Amino acid sequence: MNKLVILVTGASAGIGNLTARSLAQAGHSVYAGMRDMQGRNAPKVRELQDWSFARGLDVRAVELDVLSQESADAAAAQIIGEQGRIDVVVHNAGHLVVGPTEAFTPEEMIKVFDTNVLGAQRVNRAALPYMRVRQSGLLLWVSSTTVRGGFPPFMGPYAAAKAAMDSIAVTQSYELARFGIETSIMVPGAFTHGTDHFPNAGKPADQKTADAYARYAGLMDQVGARLSALSPEHADPQAVADEMTRIVNLPAGQRPFRAVVDFIDDGAGAVTDVAERVREEFARRIGIDDLLHPAVIA
């Protein structure tokens, strides 16, 4: 197995942190992107450094705020300066918001898209020039079963942003194929424990409008309880990190376009099977089926 240089965004906690550790344990050089390394995330940086050193692994924290193009450019430049290349970008950074869709101002919704969609665009604009020159690499996007599966109400801005990011991932897969750059889309389902996704979820500032939905009071708690009941005991977000590590370790050109890890089975897997068949058939009909796989460049 080749040792790859990998950037994981949003790696201070949750699936991003688990993935950074799993990839390092697989023998890769991993850069764990996180914000405010000298401030609120300083303890997480030290903990990750201590964990890595104790095991003789190569995982390093790198300052990366996906809301800033300057920060993304600096992170990519640092990795290139230290390693000479970026082989894999894991687009994991994201933020969940929960509440009545009406209660979110357009400006609040823009912020959700800024993190979940435009953040990936900034990182791509920073990293892809280096990857295109090398004519190789992998973009591994962390999507969501909300894009194609069932999901409850009060997640409107988040679900819309994830759908937008997923759409961009598909579009760029075609646009990067002739550069030898591969695309895989990781599709995690809902996890009721093991991440801070729901506990740290944002809420709309317009409390008056949110209060107008009082007839739905307790619904999300009801949904959460039901999801917990549907989740098997072995459901753990580490499974997502393990699957992403498996994908990265596969030979170039043999990685799946999508991989679903959904212990609850909200239907995204079934929809994906149909959607991917339709996508591939349409690409053949319009004569771009060569873009379904990365070009092999000598």
- Active site (catalytic) residues: 158
Rounded distance between C-alpha atoms, residue 279 and residue 170, angstroms: 10
What letter does residue 268 receive in the DSSP assignment? H
And the tokens for 159?
């679900």
And the tokens for 1?
């197995």
Per DSSP, the three-state class of 174 is helix
Which residues lie across from 78 on neighbouring strands?
A: none
DSSP letter string over 53-115?
HHHT--EEEEE--TT-HHHHHHHHHHHHHHHS---EEEE-----B-S-GGGS-HHHHHHHHII
Provide CB contacts within 8 A for 264, sequence distance 6+: 189, 190, 227, 230, 231, 235
Helix crossing, 156-177 with 106-113: angle to 10°? 40
Which amino acid is it at 127?
A
Rounded distance between C-alpha atoms, residue 265 and residue 189, angstroms: 8
Alpha carbon dihedral 40, 43, 47, 50, in 10-degree steps, equals 120
**Among all chains, which residue has been given the structure tokens 């999508």?**
258
